[in-house]
Amino acid sequence: MTGLRARQKADRHQRILQAASELFRSSGYEGAKIEAIASLAEVSIGTIYNYYENKGDLLVAIVAMEVNEVLNAGHQVIENPPAHVAKAVDKLVIGYIEHSLVYLSKEMWRQAMAISTQQPESPFGKTYGDLDRALTDQTCALIKRLQELKLVHRDIDAKSVGEMIFNNTNMMFTVFVKTEAMTIAELRAAIRRQNKLLLDAAATEKD
């Protein structure tokens, strides 16, 4: 019985988040109403408020769902990375950005970034910061793994390199989110170009 209740709760959570994601996209964050989200998710308004205090909580939950999926995919990259530094980093960080619009639109990302910047000590802001740190740590872990595989020079500071790669990716992703006309392909090309010099220097084997 406990297992059934847990599955039902997880199913409600998933339906609520999927409904919120759909309505945030179609109606905009400000335009989406909790009542409409509840109707689409086929739950009561009270059920939503049992889990989330406001739309900001729903938005950060959607961001967390997105980030946790790319983190899970990233674990597989670290366990079995391509035997080439640039390709391994590409698989990880390009995977991050290519998944970014599965649940969130650019407008939703702008709203999330604005809330996290304006309210850094709020539960939303802290959760958003924790997710960013988890992605940073995973990028650093990949560089460390490549170092263990002797694909990256052993005297390289893996943490610093990982931080630089993720920080640049994050900065370019912010530009992408702010620039409505910019495409994923353009973002991908910019990140690859900017990472090339650093990765060429870090790699033990050259192309």
Closest of 102, 75, 90 to residue 187, by C-alpha: 90
Percent of the chain with pLDDT over 90: 88
How much is the average pLDDT of 28-38? 93
pLDDT digits (tens, 9 = 90+) for 67-109: 999 999 999 999 999 999 999 999 999 999 999 999 999 999 9
Contact call for residues 143 and 165 (beta carbons, < 8 A): yes
Q: What is the mean pLDDT of the chain?
A: 93
pLDDT for res 205: 77
Q: Which two tokens stand for residue 138?
A: 């995973």
Whether residue 207 has pLDDT greater than 60: no
Distance CA 162, CA 175 (A): 20
CATH architecture of 1-52: Orthogonal Bundle (1.10)
CATH architecture of 56-202: Orthogonal Bundle (1.10)
pLDDT digits (tens, 9 = 90+) for 132-189: 999 999 999 999 999 999 999 999 999 999 999 999 999 999 999 999 999 999 999 9
Confidence of residue 9 (pLDDT cuts 50, 70, 90): confident
Whether residue 131 has pLDDT greater than 90: yes
Question: What's the whole-model pTM score?
Answer: 0.90
Give how far Cα 158 sits from Cα of 48, 103, 199, Å: 43, 31, 11
More confident: 196 or 206: 196
Q: Tell me the Ramachandran region of residue 42: left when phi exceeds 0, alpha when psi lies from -120 to 50, beta otherwise.
A: left
Number of helices and strands in the chain (H, E)? 10, 0
Largest interatomic CA distance in the chain: 59
Whether residue 199 has pLDDT greater than 60: yes
- DSSP tag of 181: T
pLDDT for res 8: 77
- DSSP tag of 180: T
pLDDT for res 4: 66
Other CB atoms within 10 Å distance of the CB of residue 152 = 24
Which residues make Cβ contacts (< 8 Å) with residue 34, sequence separation at least 6? Answer: 45, 48, 49, 55
Radius of gyration of the chain (CA): 19
Write down the domain spans for the chain.
1-52, 56-202
Same fold: 1-52 with 56-202 = no
Distance CA 112, CA 106 (A): 10
Contact call for residues 63 and 57 (beta carbons, < 8 A): no
Burial class (CB in 10 A: 0-12, 13-18, 19+), 183: exposed
